[in-house]
Structure 1
Amino acid sequence: MKKITIAILALILVGMLIPTGFATDSNLVITYGETTNANSDYKSIVDAFFTSQANVDLNNVNSKVITADQVNQVSSGITGKSYSSSQIYSSALLDLNDNDNLQVSVDKSKITTITGDMYISALKSAGITSGHVYVTSPVQATGESALAGIMNAYEEVTDVEIPETVKEAANEEIYTQAEIVENSGVDADSLSQLVDDVKQEVSNDNVTDHDTIVNIINNYVENNNINITNNDIENLANTIEQVQNVQGDVNYYKDQVSGFLNDSNSSGGFSLDGLFEWVKTFLNGN
């Protein structure tokens, strides 16, 4: 009888060690730009970047398509830009298995305007502080539309919707920085650092007054010799003020996803070492 029991337990262990093969990883999701998804060559280029950079099997990754309509819902209210279904290239892969710190890896050969630090700053404005995001495009693109896909990916993985006010603030931050980089020629990394530092000071001092935020930006610009216009400073102040004003919604969202992000690297309670220990205890007791 004991031999039969041991044989059954051995079969259970072997079964647990055999990979399921076709199961998708719920902590991974790709968002393809509508244009990229519709073109097999474009999609292959994007997939090759994700495979090489993230070292994942894309057969085990869920995917979604980000349409021009979704992007326009964001961009039209911020920049007035309107995109067609043939202009949405930027694509993103979210990996929440790697969630100790927020990281964004950008394909600099294809994404021309938005930097990794810009994405990180905007995502932190939305209360997102974990995960590794990869951003690329099959052709050169600014990368502005990718943020909509990235936030959509977080919603897909966590099953928690980001408040619209928070999305708007984060997207406006991206679009404002992109516009300044394109029009003023300021270094993207310097601008991203400016925004990050000013947001930190505004948050620490709980500043909500517009003129005070303008003064903080002016001081930073002068001290760091950054060449942007007064209009740029006003736009940045409006953006940072909006981020500050939605902190209540940001904190609510962070509370909703905190448990998931803290547990997403766990194996759902299954421990192979624990299982072997249980088998040994069982056999010793029998």
Structure 2
Amino acid sequence: MTFIKNIKKQLVVTLLVVMALQLTAPVLTADAVTDVVVTLGEDLTEEQKASLLEEMDMAEVNEDAIVYVTNEEEHQYLGDVVPKEQIGTRAISSAKISLREDESGIMVTTENITYITSKMYANALATAGITGAEIYVTAPFNVSGTGALTGILKAYEQSTGEDLDEDLKKAANEEMVITADLAEGEDVSEDEAIDFINKIKEEVDKQKPETTEELRALIQRLAEEMNLTLTDEQLDQLVNLFNKLKDLNIDWDKVNDTIDKTKDWINDFAESEEGQGIITAVKDFFSALWDWFKSAFTNEEEALATSFK
């Protein structure tokens, strides 16, 4: 029984450390931050709202800086690409958005988001026209995170006074979901799915396909070059998505520049003293944890063997 109790204690410690590491994000100087806005799911309880605001270090935030997102809005922007049952009936996902004026890229970190990854959010936001932001997406418990982008874009509009094109917002949400679905396949990793979508953006900017047939051929060629196998449904989804994006007069040079700057931001942090310190701490922690498990199980086996003598 003592062994079991120790296991529980160590698992709690492990969870706390991992959570702390997840909350650590590369941060640039605060001088470039122009505004900070919080989005909260409308269906959160008062206790959950207070807890999330505390988690975001925004407990004292002015009510004017909070944007509430409804489940109806989530269905409005996701209903064409996500089943209703997956979107659900409650708006839960929340976020803290620090907008930047230096167009340094988009850094996203998440907590309790199980389906949409940080890079997927960043790429979709770049498509929507956002060029500089630090964003933290969270929820009081595990959620897919598909609804968070709706709130982030709504917060951007409120902060800047700029109304984003409705079709563009829907397309950005669609891009995010399609990328996540691609990464769900056994043969495609998250990075491969994201790189593939980004490569399509680059080639659409360069080649400027005019017809659906040209666009389909472009996507098929890129998939073959990257050794990715697409189903007919996935190919159709990508063709439909980029047909929509193609008609929205998106500045692809700007989008690709934002994506490149985001990559640079991440790489610079990873190579920085702070980033290296975190990487080393993670390695040391899991090495020590593995040593502890080996020692614990060895001791338990010896104790059991002794008890049967």
Indicate the TM-score class for this superposition, using the shorter chain for normalisation: 0.5 to 0.7
Indicate yes or no: 2:53 matched with 1:47.
yes
Whole-Å separation in 2 of the counterparts to 1:97 and 1:60: 20
TM-score norm. by structure 1 comes to 0.68
1:89 and 2:97 matched: no
Q: Which residue of 1 aligns with 2:217?
A: 215
Please show how residues 6-45 of structure 1 align to structure 2 within 5 Å.
Answer: 27-36=35-44, 38-40=45-47, 42-45=48-51
Which residue number corresponds to residue 78 of structure 2? 75
| AA matched with 1:76 | G
User: 1:163-185: CA deviations, max 9, x gaps?
Assistant: 11211211221222233334667
Q: Return the match for 2:120 from 118, 122, 135.
A: 118
Q: Which residue of the other structure, out of 200, 210, 215, is the alignment partner of 1:198? A: 200
**Is the aligned partner of 1:163 residue 2:169?**
no
Query: Take 1:177 and 1:100, find their aligned partners in 2: how far apart are those partners?
Result: 24
Alpha-carbon deviations, 1:135-184, whole Å to 9, x = none?
Answer: 11221112111111010010010011111121121122122223333466
Look up the equivalent residue of 2:118 and give its one-letter code: G
Change (3 A) 1:168 1:73: same
Supply the RMSD in Å over aligned alpha carbons: 2.6
Query: In the aligned structure 2, how far is the partner of 1:223 from the partner of 1:176?
Result: 20
Q: CA deviation at 1:215?
A: 2.1
Q: Distance in 1 between matches of 2:243 and 2:50?
A: 41
**Which of 138, 152, 155 lines up with 1:153 in the alignment?**
155
- CA shift, 1:49, in A, is 3.7
For residues 227 and 39 of structure 1, what CA distance do their matches in structure 2 show?
A: 46
Change (3 A) 1:229 1:103: same
- Pairwise CA distance, 1:195: 0.5
Structure-1 separation of matches of 2:151 and 2:75 = 12
The superposition leaves residues 68-118 of structure 1 with CA deviations (integer Å, 9 ceiling, x where unpaired) of 0111111223334264543x22111111246432323222x5111212221
Provide the secondary structure at the position in 1 that maps to 2:135: strand
The CA distance in 2 between the partners of 1:223 and 1:119, in whole Å, is 25
Instruction: Quickly say closer, same or farther: Cα 1:69–1:197, change in 2 above 3 A.
Output: same
Shift of 1:50: 2.1
Structure number with the higher strand fraction is 2
Say if 2:252 is the partner of 1:246: no
- 1:7-58 CA distance string (max 9 Å, x none): xxxxxxxxxxxxxxxxxx971111111233x241x3344334422xxxx675
Alpha-carbon distance in 2 for matches of 1:184, 1:245: 32
Which stretches in structure 2 are left out of the alignment for 5+ residues?
1-32, 255-309
Query: What is the distance in 2 between the residues matched to 1:79 and 1:97?
Result: 31
Q: Does 1:235 align with 2:237?
A: yes
Evaluate the alpha carbon distance shift between residue 71 and residue 58 of structure 1 in structure 2; reply closer, same or farther with a 3 A threshold.
Answer: same
Aligned equivalent of 1:180:
182
Residue identity (%) = 27
Deviations 1:230-271 (A, max 9, x none): 321221121122111111xx46xx9xxxxxxxxxxxxxxxxx
* Conservation of the 8 A alpha-carbon contact between 2:41 and 2:93: yes
Residue 100 (str. 1) matches residue 108 (str. 2): no
